[in-house]
Amino acid sequence: MIKNRLAVLMAEKEIKSVSELHRMIQNKGMTISRRTLDKFYNNQNNNISYDTLETLCTILDCELHELLVLQK
């Protein structure tokens, strides 16, 4: 199972909420729906687009392997 570390990365970057992350994304002229962010934050989505992953990695200044982990 693949899990994300979005909450951990947000805490490390002192981003206090999904709303704050959403505003940061919008301020950079990028788009991810709030619903997509909520689902991703709560590990509730089965599919995620490459564009969404790229946006999150850009905003969080991280590599993909820092955002996603494989749990056995």
**pLDDT tens per residue across span 26-36:** 999 999 999 99
Partners of residue 2 on adjacent β-strands:
70
Q: What is the pLDDT of residues 16-71, one digit of tens each?
A: 999 999 999 999 999 999 999 999 999 998 899 999 999 999 999 999 999 999 98
Choose among 42, 43, 19: nearest CA to 32: 19
Overall size of the chain counted in residues: 72
Residue 45 has a pLDDT of 84
pTM: 0.91
Task: Name the 3-class secondary structure at 70.
Answer: strand
Q: Where are the chain's structural domains?
A: 2-70
Predicted confidence band of residue 9 (pLDDT cuts 50, 70, 90): very high
Structure tokens at 23: 């505003």
The CATH classification number of 2-70 equals 1.10.260
Q: What percent of the chain has pLDDT over 70?
A: 100
